[in-house]
Structure formats: C-alpha cells, structure tokens
Amino acid sequence: MTDVEIALSTGRVKGTDLGDVLRFYGIPYAEDPVGDLRFAAPVRREPWPGVRDATRPAATAQRLRFDPDPAIPEPIVAGTDILHVDVWAPAQGTGHPVLVWIHGGGWESGSSHQPWFDGTAFARAGIVVVSVGYRLGVEGFTAFPDAPDNRGVRDWIMALEWVRDEIAAFGGDPGRVTVSGQSAGGGAVLCLLASPLAAGLFHRGIASSPAVLRSPAAQAPKGTAAAELAAGGRGAVDEFHRRLRKDNPFLMPFRPTVGDDTVPVPPLEGIGSGPGLDLPLLIGSTAMEFEGVVRALPGAALVPGAAMILRSQELPTTGLRALARQSAGKSLRRAVGAVVDAATIHSTVVRAAETRVAAGAPTWVYDFRWSEGRGAVHCADLPFFWSVPEAANVRAYLGADAPPGLVDAMHRSWVDFVRSGDPGSPPYAPPGRRVQVWDDPPAVVEDGLADVRAVWWPAGGS
C-alpha cells in the first residue's frame, strides 16, 4: 500500500492506494458542527491549507450505541469533525457510476466506516463508493424551537451536493449517482426520493430494509432549547439522549420530522408523487428482520410492545384481522415477532412498492430468505450485497458460512442496478408483482408480497 493524493476544490487529500482501489477516509463536506453549528443546518466546508490526511477513519457521530451488542461492529472514533465521507474508487478510469451509502442504526448509532460497508468489491467492479457520516440522535433528529428540523437529513443532502461537485476527481460520474441505505438508511432513501431539496442530486435508489415510522418523533420537553444543550457541551447532549431513550422504551425516539422543506410530506406519500417518482428504486427486506430482538424481550413486554408498534404504524382494521389469521397456530413470541417485522419493515416495503407501481414508477423488490444459520434476520443480507463474507463478525452473526454463489449473485444485482438502473430481475408490477427471492438457489416468485399486502395494503391500502 502506498499514499495517493487528489486535489479537490477545498484542498488536497491524501488517501491509500491499495493497488486496484483508492481509499480515502474522513473527507469533510461541511464545517465541524460545534459551538453555534451544533444544532444548525450544515455549512459548506471552507478550503484547508496543505494536504489533509485521509488514510485513517475519522471522528464518528455515534456516542451512545442503539444496541449494546450490534451485529455490525460499530467503531467509535473520538472527535467532533464528523460531517465527512469515506470514498473507495477504481484506481483507473473515469466516468464510473457512483454508489452513495447512508448507514443505519436507528438514527442514533452506526458510522460511515463500519467494516461491513467496505467499498473495495464495488470499486473493483468499476463503481465509486461514497459512505456518508451524518449527525445522529439529538443533534441530528430531535426537534427544537430554536433550531432547524431534520439536521441529519440536511447533512445527507449536503453530502450529495459534495458528490455532485467533487466526485469527478475520483473518476466518478455525477450524472450516475445511486443513493442507498439500510434500515434507518433505507428510510433515508425514501425521504430523499420525496425531498424537493434532493431533486437532481441522484438518479436511482436502493432502500434495504427501510425503516419509516409513521408516528411522530420524540419532541424535546417544553422549555428545552438547542442553545441551552449546546452550551452544556457533550455531557448535556448525551444525558438528554439517554433521557429520550428511557422515556421511549418501545419506540425509536429519533427519526426525520415531517413538514419542513426537507421532508414536506410523509415519505410513503411523497414517493408516489414527489421529485423522485421517475427514478428507478430497488427495495426489499429480510424475511425475519427483528425476530432476534423479540426473542430477547421479557415476556411481560411482548404484548404491550407489539401493541405500541402497531398503533404507531397505523395498521388498517382489515389488516389486523388478516394478521390474526396468519398468526394462527404460532406461539405468542413468534406471533409477536411477525407483528414487529411487518410493522417496522415489511409494511414499508409493500406500501412503497404499491404506491410507486400505482403511479407507474420503475420499481424492483427483493426478499432475502436465506435460512441457514440464524436465518434471514435484520442486517443478514448486507454481507452478501457488499460481498464482504470475511468481514469482522459476519460468520458469527450469520451463524453459517455465506454461500459464495449467493454472495456473487446478490452483489452483482446491486452492481448491475448502480450501472444501469436494472438489477437483472423482473420489475415489481401488476398483475404478476414478481419478487426476487434471495435464497440458495435464488428464484423469482409471483406475487411475492401477497401475505404482507393482505395486512398492510388491503383493498388498495390506507
């Protein structure tokens, strides 16, 4: 490995030449969000003198893990200069398509350089990868009377503006950008498809296990101001974060707020009429998603937790009856697991797919059902799509070795989509509503979302 330098409009950066791939960590797209900028909209980065070192992971926004034992290792790097991107690029050539990645973590954890999101395999396939660091938790998503809403969303948009302005220096084509993400990051993709401020900044989307909660985000208690928290420093912000988490034991307290200029309407409405309507979308989920979370819940929390989740996602009455029929014969824990999976992720997939196909928007759906090891739980599809079966904790989390043929097929589907807007499987459209099922071997299934549609889209949805 040797060093390599690239000139940007803001200054030079030094990365690492891996031979066939160039890698850069922590390239700033906005000013350090400290002091008066902690709860402000992001501000474009001013030029820096000399050469900025981008050979090592930079500061992370995450301070308090959403999950104390996360599936994907979540390195925490000290520092405040967190509004940056990591880049992997082919060492040769120009005009490469670009994959922009927005990590998940419940809008309060994760980072741009988690090891499962190593972009080397994509770069070797001729794709420039940009992984985005953004503000999380209180700083990114809690609404205050004296601060702009959706500061984390504004970070995503400024990162996309950075891609538009700078990616050619890495051999990327700013006219061929795919924005992608998983879980909270998948929800970010749907928000951006519906956001007027993101219009024209990307050209297709991948929403993997997208989380879009229909209930409002947690609000700051009356009388609490962003300026007050900022004056209290890191400790005050972290304590406030813990308080919101404690007060919302079953629901995620952080998420984008609907109603401002970044997310003017609910994403599941906006994707049917918003600026991203004509853009190709690949969307999907894993078969079991959060079953592991349900297994860990104490028995007394099962029913109230599921009831709160159902209420927050506004389950149609006819859908509730369909869900009861589908749960017949299952244990209480398995039935609750099905409720949580459907309410948090599967409902979003079917609502998004049906809304888009009703509007004639190009849409593809996948369903990850690989059943070996721990099965198709939340995040289990990521090592396949990213082609990182040997990354840290992958084997332990999956509980089995990822089949090389399935890894290659799933990775190739994303590569093809980023290149052409077509993942190589049939689009999701009536009457067939075909779904790409990722199992060993893969298959295409007619009306692959039928059970989920019966619950969350009965007689045309709600």
Write out the two tokens for 219.
Answer: 């609000």
How many Cβ atoms from other residues are within 10 Å of residue 194's Cβ?
26
Return the bridge partners of 4, or none.
15
Contact 383, 391 (CB under 8 A): yes
Return the bridge partners of 8, or none.
11
- Residue corresponding to tokens 């077509």: 422
Could you give the angle at the alpha carbon of 307 between the alpha carbons of 302 and 287, nearest 5°? 70
What whole-number distance in Å separates Cα of residue 353 and Cα of residue 265? 17
Question: Is-catalytic flag, 378?
Answer: yes
Instruction: Find how far residue 51's CA is from the centre of its chain.
Output: 31
Phi, psi of 59 (to 5 degrees): -60, 145
Contact 137, 216 (CB under 8 A): no
Question: Is-catalytic flag, 331?
Answer: no
Give the three-class secondary structure for 368.
strand
Given the residues 108, 139, 166, 289, the one annotated as active site: 289
What whole-number distance in Å separates Cα of residue 322 and Cα of residue 38? 46
What whole-number distance in Å separates Cα of residue 219 and Cα of residue 74? 27
Instruction: Provide Rg for the chain, Cα atoms.
Output: 21
Question: Is-catalytic flag, 289?
Answer: yes
- Strands annotated E in 47-142: 51-53, 84-90, 96-102, 128-132
Could you give the angle at the alpha carbon of 412 between the alpha carbons of 410 and 417, nearest 5°? 100
Give the three-class secondary structure for 440.
coil
- Residue corresponding to tokens 């000013």: 31
Given the residues 131, 183, 209, 387, the one annotated as active site: 183
What whole-number distance in Å separates Cα of residue 444 and Cα of residue 426? 8
Given the residues 378, 387, 411, 425, the one annotated as active site: 378
CA dihedral 32, 36, 37, 39 (to 10 degrees): 130
Which residues belong to the active site? 183, 289, 378
